[in-house]
A = this chain, B = another copy of it.
Amino acid sequence: MSLTIYDIAKEAGVSITTVSRVLNSKGEVSVATRAKIQAVLEKSGYAPSQLARGLASKLSKTVGIVAVDLRASHHANLVHQTEYCLSQQGYSAIVCSLAGKPDRLDEYIEMLLSRQVDGIVFTGSVFAGEPYHSILAAKFLTLPCVVLNALLPEANFFGIINDECAAFADVVRLLYSKGRRNLAFLGGAPTLSEEQKRLGYRTGMERVGLGKQILEYHSPHDFEAGYTATQALMREHPETDAIICSVDPTAVGCIHALHHMGYRVPGQISVVGANNTDMALACYPQLTSVDTKPYETSDLAVKMLVEAIEEKNPEKVKRLDCRLVQRHST
């Protein structure tokens, strides 16, 4: 096998305790011995076993990242950046992708606990809703957790909230300024994030004086669903001239449906999405989308989590604003 702390100690002519001390830079070590040990360390290429370290210190320097579905671009971005930030801080990430199957959450949590992770990051507001929340609550998790885009009532659950409400109100204002008067909202299951968007839509509509014309449709967060929901919407409300979708995949499905029904985008109908994923760039016309800043969100999440792990009592909730990115679909 590889080198152990004993090899280093022997080579340097000191005890493993002293080696451990310089490894963790804690405790007093004379300049001379420190230098000697450092030298041995350098040339040996020794790296301490994180397993042994974790076992002895009760800190594994590992965190779990649980994503609803890693295949979704927005989540992949969040996981990517979260992992990156964690690695910068000396933590490794064990990632779990639920593939939309809530029942796997239970096993994953169990697994993460058995691996002594120091904390967990959940990407996605669905974790605040059912059945996820019940599963999490039943675990009585005592380790720090941060949920992206949601806030759970439990202690040691930290949250980051994107202010999507304001951004969606802006979306309405933008569309209104372009002359659109029949704006529909196409949203998903009522998570916090969805509710914020919906609220933003309503608020925006009130502000521009269209409060009486609220039109809300429902669609899961995928391409197909966006497609069929749009067909229904246009059949029942042919006067619609702008569709605000809660996420990009829905919006892309929406655009395709409109194309196939013979509408011109943005000529006749404007479409807006959210999360500013690469789908927004890929579709034609390119999609105007609410940027929910996955990078900033992840950075903040890791910052909060690490602070919580180190018992620095970070704030329980942080807020981040969103930015509307205009492209050719409006």
Contacts and interface: CB of A to CB of B under 8 A. Distances in A.
A209 B5 CA distance: 67
A284 B282 CA distance: 8
A215 interface: no
A163 to B, nearest CB: 24
Interface string A213-241: 00000000001000000000000000000
A252 to B, nearest CB: 5
Contact of A76 (B1, B70, B256, B283): B70
A207 interface: no
Q: Oligomeric state, in number of copies?
A: 2
Contact of A115 (B51, B55, B77): B51
A108 B116 CA distance: 20
Contacts of A99: 80, 84
Interface stretch (A87-95, A186-194, A305-313, A317-325): A87-95
A54 to B, nearest CB: 5
A111 B96 contact: no
Nearest to A113: B47
Given A97-B84, A279-B282, A284-B284, A71 B77 contact: yes
Nearest to A2: B113
A95 B97 CA distance: 12
Given A283-B282, A284-B284, A47 B110 contact: yes
B83 A95 contact: yes
20 contacts: A1-B58, A47-B113, A48-B114, A49-B55, A50-B114, A51-B116, A52-B55, A69-B80, A70-B80, A71-B73, A76-B76, A79-B97, A83-B97, A87-B96, A87-B107, A93-B94, A93-B95, A94-B95, A282-B282, A282-B283
